[in-house]
């Protein structure tokens, strides 16, 4: 059984039912599945010439932020020379209450100053990263920045320190604007300052950003709009004539809204939607509303919550209930399909409710066809739900969206690789569910998982807090892990598996707990938490023994081998042999082949290259028999390296050349480049062909440049010092 959990579908019954118990929900997904109703964007481009353009556009006119824009202009570094010994990188921190318009201000500044940052604009929303945890994952933010600069996930380092070091290197010769939004902890920002002269880092958040001044940040307090500016917002949204006809009431309205643009937009939407509604009547209503959200009130008689209450009260009963329920939705954004599932409505009624909320400016539609609340509006909706809905409704909603995401995530997992070890039997859940990933023109499964992964993690957190959803939590965590084999969001992967393993323990499914804890050892190891990884593997081994599931036991042993590869080759080889024996006993031939591959690599690393060749040839034969060309080519590359270690140059070149050709045909270019560099190493030795080495390195450089790999610089320097082509 491989560490990534492969295993033939013909063994599903043996894997999924260990003791006569079906480990799956009994609800058919056809009754709760809402499909995918938003546009899944193509993955961001990769390569050394990528120019990011990510800062959100403005959807409404920015009113009277002239002074803020001018201040930011004044903080720009005048040139790229650093003659005065000062900083060559601009650094600003904007702070103010939620909903005051910090994001809009920076978006407008970025839009009108696009030519100042010819190498691109990067946007990271820490609210999306942190979910419900106390602080955002700054390591994940660094990963986002590297991805924005064109680095393929395969080349992004695992540790925060390495990511920051690489980010400085990749930004050194670029003039970038980096915008970190919704930052709550100053340390999250200072580490991500770009290095290129003329670049600028803007941070937006609450009042706690003052300490960034010690790191060189210029501080700007973004205040609520003054009376005249707020009146201009009303006039812009609902008509200047209406405001001019009753300026006194209009002034009272903007005072009650506290000058917050988010509240003003809600009020303006009500006035625009109801031509007969007067400013005086609306001001009277707003003044009479009690203040329910103290954190949204800016002082005596200035109640933002009241503005939301008034808009909410205007909604039809079904739209109002939809609003309340979506306040409980645990993700950051949702499409119409998710909304239908969460609210328990059919698609037509869901569309009506979405239209009502967007028309009232209580909900924003994003460019990809999804919807999101402003944080303050979400807080208000959740408060309304808590006061007006029965507690059981929240549990029911979480269950519905958990089953929805479980169905879609499981289908994406199977679309990526069908023959993977899975403990969950989801046959009944998936019965009759249309597979969007198999449909013509459907989303790519990895792209969909990447687009949705913050929402999936939010659903996992919410479901883990509910009684009675332990089974669904561990099953979703199991299916979700396929994303992290491709995109290594280490913090998210760790949290997902921790939630899943705890749920599997509560559900008393030892095979699932063993599987998830062994998987958990991978992100923990990559994060440098070796003792924690070892503890998870020890627990996984004990659970696997209790389950008496041969393939799970084999998988745990393989993960143990990967762990011991770092420090103890003998123990690693012992673990791989155990995995090989267990997979063989279970007739899990692909798993046995991959265990043999890891064993052969360990033997070669330990200096026993002759034994490694025998082990690796057996693995390659089994994988070729199963038409697994990609994995067989990786084994063939290992065979070439073993021949090289034995001094068998001709055999090494033949094996590595064949492996490179197959990997190229399989579009596994990351591994192709490894084989090409190994071939170049051989050809550059005495007796080799330097021109052939150059050809190999040029192709490897092409791959690394296309993926944004930091190895591109190394190969470029190596080629510059080599013989001329031709």
Of 685, 680, 679, nearest to 651 by C-alpha is: 679
**Mean pLDDT in residue range 636-662:** 96
577-609 b/e (C-beta count within 10 Å ≥ 16 → b): bbbbbbbbebebbbbbbbbbbbbbbbbbbeebb
Residue 186 near residue 220, CB atoms below 8 Å? no
**Cα(316)–Cα(364) distance, rounded to whole angstroms?**
19
- Residue 608: per-residue pLDDT: 95
The DSSP bridge pattern shows strands 200-205 and 177-183 to be: parallel
Of 331, 341, 283, 347, nearest to 310 by C-alpha is: 283
- Residue 647: per-residue pLDDT: 95
With DSSP H G I counted as helix, E B as strand and the rest as coil, what are the percentages for the chain, rounded to 5?
Answer: 60, 5, 35
Q: For 413-447, how does the pLDDT look when each residue is reduced to its tens digit (9 = 90+)?
A: 999 988 889 999 999 999 888 899 998 888 999 99
Architecture in CATH for domain 317-389: Orthogonal Bundle (1.10)
- Residue 30: per-residue pLDDT: 43
- Residue 25: per-residue pLDDT: 55
Residue 95 near residue 222, CB atoms below 8 Å? yes
Question: Which span out of 154-163, 429-438, 483-492, 674-683 was modeled with the highest average pLDDT?
Answer: 674-683
**Cα(363)–Cα(323) distance, rounded to whole angstroms?**
9
Question: 66-221: CATH homologous superfamily?
Answer: P-loop containing nucleotide triphosphate hydrolases (3.40.50.300)
**Mean pLDDT in residue range 682-703:** 93
**Cα(75)–Cα(93) distance, rounded to whole angstroms?**
11
- As separate numbers, helices (DSSP H) first and strands (DSSP E) second, the chain gives 33, 7
φ, ψ for residue 221 (rounded to 5)? Answer: -90, 120
- Residue 366: per-residue pLDDT: 85
Of 334, 320, 310, nearest to 389 by C-alpha is: 320
Q: For 280-291, how does the pLDDT look when each residue is reduced to its tens digit (9 = 90+)?
A: 888 887 776 544
What band does 15 get if pLDDT is binned at 50, 70 and 90? very low
Q: For 169-216, how does the pLDDT look when each residue is reduced to its tens digit (9 = 90+)?
A: 999 989 999 999 988 877 778 889 999 999 999 999 877 788 888 888
What band does 515 get if pLDDT is binned at 50, 70 and 90? very high
- Residue 320: per-residue pLDDT: 96
Of 415-424, 453-462, 470-479, minimum mean pLDDT range: 415-424
- Residue 131: per-residue pLDDT: 54
**Mean pLDDT in residue range 637-641:** 97
Q: Distance between the two ends of the chain, CA-based, in angstroms? A: 48
- Residue 302: per-residue pLDDT: 42
Alpha helix segments (H runs only) across 389-509: 391-416, 427-430, 445-464, 470-486, 490-506
Of 43-47, 389-393, 596-600, minimum mean pLDDT range: 43-47
φ, ψ for residue 27 (rounded to 5)? Answer: -80, 130
Bridge partner residues of 94 (DSSP):
204, 220
- Residue 305: per-residue pLDDT: 73
- Residue 275: per-residue pLDDT: 78
Of 8-12, 30-34, 395-399, 712-716, minimum mean pLDDT range: 8-12
Q: For 334-382, how does the pLDDT look when each residue is reduced to its tens digit (9 = 90+)?
A: 999 999 999 999 989 999 999 999 988 889 888 888 999 888 788 889 9
**Mean pLDDT in residue range 32-41:** 74
Query: In the predicted model, is pLDDT for residue 701 greater than 80?
Result: yes
What band does 20 get if pLDDT is binned at 50, 70 and 90? very low
Query: In the predicted model, is pLDDT for residue 21 greater than 80?
Result: no
- Residue 722: per-residue pLDDT: 59
DSSP summary character for residue 16:
H
Domain ranges for the chain: 66-221, 227-314, 317-389
Query: In the predicted model, is pLDDT for residue 9 greater than 50?
Result: no
Q: For 264-281, how does the pLDDT look when each residue is reduced to its tens digit (9 = 90+)?
A: 888 888 787 777 888 888
- Residue 600: per-residue pLDDT: 97
- Residue 288: per-residue pLDDT: 64
CA distances from residue 382 to 292, 359, 405 in whole angstroms, order as listed: 12, 20, 21
- Residue 296: per-residue pLDDT: 37
Residue 1 near residue 578, CB atoms below 8 Å? no
- Residue 11: per-residue pLDDT: 35
Question: Which span out of 37-41, 568-572, 706-710 was modeled with the highest average pLDDT?
Answer: 568-572
Distance, C-alpha 168 to centroid of its chain: 22
Q: For 576-602, how does the pLDDT look when each residue is reduced to its tens digit (9 = 90+)?
A: 999 999 999 999 999 999 999 999 999
What band does 29 get if pLDDT is binned at 50, 70 and 90? very low
**Mean pLDDT in residue range 320-346:** 94
Query: In the predicted model, is pLDDT for residue 96 greater than 50?
Result: yes
**Mean pLDDT in residue range 452-469:** 94
């Amino acid at each position: 059984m491989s560490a990534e959990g492969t295993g033939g579908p013909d063994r599903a019954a043996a894997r999924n039912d260990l003791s006569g118990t079906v480990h799956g929900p009994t609800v058919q997904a056809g009754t709760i599945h809402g499909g995918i109703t938003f546009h899944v964007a193509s993955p961001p481009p990769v390569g050394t010439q990528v120019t990011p353009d990510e800062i959100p556009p403005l959807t409404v006119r920015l009113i009277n932020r002239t002074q803020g824009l001018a201040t930011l202009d004044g903080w720009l570094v005048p040139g790229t020379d650093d003659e005065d010994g000062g900083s060559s990188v601009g650094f600003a921190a904007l702070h103010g209450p939620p909903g005051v318009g910090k994001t809009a201000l920076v978006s407008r500044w970025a839009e009108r100053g696009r030519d100042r940052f010819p190498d691109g604009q990067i946007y990271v929303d820490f609210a999306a990263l942190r979910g419900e945890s106390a602080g955002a994952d700054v390591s994940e933010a660094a990963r986002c920045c590297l991805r924005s600069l064109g680095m393929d996930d395969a080349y992004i380092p695992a540790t925060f320190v390495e990511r920051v070091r690489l980010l400085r290197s990749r930004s050194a010769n670029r003039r970038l604007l980096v915008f970190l939004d919704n930052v709550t902890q100053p340390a999250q920002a200072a580490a991500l300052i770009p290095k290129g002269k003329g670049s600028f880092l803007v941070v937006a958040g609450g009042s706690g950003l003052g300490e960034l001044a010690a790191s060189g940040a210029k501080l700007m307090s973004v205040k609520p709009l003054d009376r005249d500016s707020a009146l201009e917002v009303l006039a812009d949204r609902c008509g200047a004539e209406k405001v001019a006809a009753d300026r006194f009431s209009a002034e009272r309205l903007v005072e009650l809204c506290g000058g917050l643009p988010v509240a003003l937009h809600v009020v303006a939407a009500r006035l625009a939607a109801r031509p007969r509604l007067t400013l005086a009547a609306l001001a009277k209503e707003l003044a009479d509303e009690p203040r329910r959200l103290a954190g949204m009130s800016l002082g005596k008689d200035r109640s933002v919550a009241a503005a939301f209450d008034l808009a909410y009260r205007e909604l039809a009963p079904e739209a109002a209930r939809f609003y309340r329920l979506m306040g409980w939705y645990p993700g950051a954004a949702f499409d119409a399909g998710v909304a239908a599932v969460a609210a328990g409505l059919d698609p037509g009624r869901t569309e009506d409710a979405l239209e009502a909320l967007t028309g009232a400016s209580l909900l924003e539609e994003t460019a990809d066809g999804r919807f999101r609340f402003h944080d303050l509006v979400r807080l208000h909706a959740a408060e309304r739900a808590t006061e007006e809905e029965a507690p059981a409704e929240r549990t029911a909603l979480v269950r519905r969206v958990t089953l929805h995401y479980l169905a879609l995530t499981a289908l994406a997992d199977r679309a990526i690789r069908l023959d993977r070890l899975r403990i969950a039997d989801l046959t009944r859940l998936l019965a009759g569910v249309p597979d969007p990933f198999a449909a013509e023109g459907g989303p790519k499964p990895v792209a969909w998982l990447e687009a949705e992964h913050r929402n999936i993690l939010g659903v996992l957190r919410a479901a883990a807090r509910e009684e009675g959803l332990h089974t669904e939590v561990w099953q979703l965590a199991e299916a979700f892990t396929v994303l992290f084999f491709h995109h290594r969001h280490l913090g998210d992967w760790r949290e997902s598996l921790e939630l899943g393993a705890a749920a599997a323990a509560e559900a008393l499914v030892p095979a699932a707990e063993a599987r998830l804890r062994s998987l958990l050892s991978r992100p923990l190891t990559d994060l440098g938490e070796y003792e924690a990884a070892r503890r998870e593997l020890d627990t996984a081994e004990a659970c696997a023994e209790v389950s008496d599931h041969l393939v799970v036991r084999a998988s745990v042993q393989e993960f143990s081998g990967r762990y011991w590869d770092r420090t103890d080759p003998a123990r690693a080889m012992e673990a791989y042999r155990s995995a090989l024996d267990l997979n063989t006993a279970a007739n899990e031939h692909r798993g046995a082949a991959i265990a043999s591959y890891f064993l052969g690599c360990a033997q070669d690393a330990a200096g026993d290259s002759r034994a490694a060749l025998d082990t690796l040839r057996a693995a390659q034969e089994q994988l070729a028999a199963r038409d697994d060309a990609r994995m067989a080519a990786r084994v063939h590359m290992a065979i070439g390296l073993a021949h090289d270690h034995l001094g068998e140059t001709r055999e090494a070149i033949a094996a590595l050349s064949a492996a490179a050709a197959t990997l190229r045909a399989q579009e596994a270019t990351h591994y192709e480049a490894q084989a090409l560099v190994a071939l170049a190493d051989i050809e550059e030795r005495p007796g080799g062909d330097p021109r052939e080495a150059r050809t190999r390195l040029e192709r490897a450089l092409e791959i690394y440049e296309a993926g944004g790999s930091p190895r591109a610089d190394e190969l470029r320097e190596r080629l510059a010092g080599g013989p001329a082509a031709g």
